[in-house]
Amino acid sequence: MRYENSQAFPVVISEAHAEVSKPRLSSEWEGLSNDLTFTSIGESIRDVKFTAKMANQSSHPVTQLDLIIEAPGFFSDPLLIIVYADMELVLDPSPRSSVVGPYEVFDFHAGLPIKDGTELLNRLPDFRLKIVAIEYETENGPVGWEEDVRYEFALRGMSNMTVHGHPGLDTSVQLVDPERLTGTLQDHDNIINPSALPAGAQLTPPRIIHKEEPQYTPQARAKKLEGSVVMNVVFGSVADISSIRVVRGLPDGLTEKAVEAALKTRFTPGMKDGKPVSVSGSLELVFKLD
């Protein structure tokens, strides 16, 4: 089984494997609702176990990982695997086991039944595992990071099943139909999305009066990295930045430094009908060496 890492993501895959069991007859309706992973009673199936070794290379605890398993020409739709912290465990006096800690190396595994056939065994080396999104904790709350826009708005209401994952984490496996992954971030009653306003609607957008310069990490400076980090954020009605979602990051800790700088942005809130309002928008911070 192959794997792919984003250059910028702080969580990386170092190994990935897929193991196939001997054929068995399905004793019940099981699996996910597509042609290959949804099986009927008495059908010949094999249990496929996906395992990977991963590492959190950041100084922040990770509370959610979104991964996809793709097999072009075999799966018509990719599988989206969501590994997330159980919030009851997070609220426990000892929440350490419910997250992937800073700089922690951990194992991931998930499994599902797939219809038996020679094509399964022949195509197994073509299966590919990739991290497409993470969520990590900071002192100012959770930060989401999604670099693959095809899965940025992955639907959470699809068929799913729970499988074993990292201790203290729940794992949900879902089907992804790329053609359905369109739209905008979930609307919030108190957050205005300028692009969704009707024609003629009057909105004075937020005005940035100070953009904090992001700081380099020693590793990034040594490598002479340059570039920009792009985030979707909410410019709050009380002049605070919240709901940060990274859509383009940089490696070697620069994304985390950009988030820290973003939180120090000063601006005048957007106005609608004479009142300050929270407005969704984008924020780009540039790293450039002197």
Give the contacts of 186 (CB within 8 A, at least 6 positions apart): none
> What burial letters (b/e) apply to 43-67, b meaning 16+ CB within 10 Å?
bebbebebbbebebbbebbbbbbbb
Q: How far apart are CA 210 and CA 221, in angstroms?
A: 24
Transcribe 19-48 into DSSP letters: EE---EE-SS-EE-SSTTTEE-TT-EEEEE
Torsion angle defined by CA atoms of residues 178, 181, 182 and 185, in that order, rounded to the nearest 10 degrees: -160
Same domain for 212 and 76, yes or no, is no
Same domain for 157 and 282, yes or no, is no
E strands present in 128-180 = 128-138, 141-146, 160-163, 169-175
Same domain for 266 and 168, yes or no, is no
Please answer whether residues 218 and 224 qualify as being in contact, where contact means their C-beta atoms are separated by less than 8 angstroms: no
Same domain for 112 and 201, yes or no, is no
Give the contacts of 12 (CB within 8 A, at least 6 positions apart): 5, 54, 55, 57, 131
User: Which structural domain, as residue segments, surrounds residue 268?
Assistant: 191-287
Residue 162 lies in a domain: yes
Residue 123 lies in a domain: yes
pLDDT in tens, the chain (290 residues): 999 998 778 889 999 998 888 888 877 655 544 444 555 677 788 888 888 888 888 888 888 788 888 887 776 667 777 676 543 433 333 333 446 788 888 777 777 777 777 777 888 888 888 888 888 888 877 888 876 555 443 333 333 333 333 344 444 444 443 333 333 333 344 678 777 777 777 889 999 999 999 999 999 999 999 999 999 899 999 999 988 989 889 988 899 999 999 999 999 999 988 899 999 999 999 999 98
Q: Which residues pair with 169 in a beta bridge?
A: 85
Give the contacts of 31 (CB within 8 A, at least 6 positions apart): 37, 38, 39, 45, 112, 113, 114, 161
Same domain for 148 and 233, yes or no, is no
Burial of 248 (0-12, 13-18, 19+ CB in 10 A): middle
pTM confidence score: 0.71
Same domain for 274 and 145, yes or no, is no
| CATH code for the domain in which residue 240 is found | 3.30.2420.10
Same domain for 157 and 255, yes or no, is no
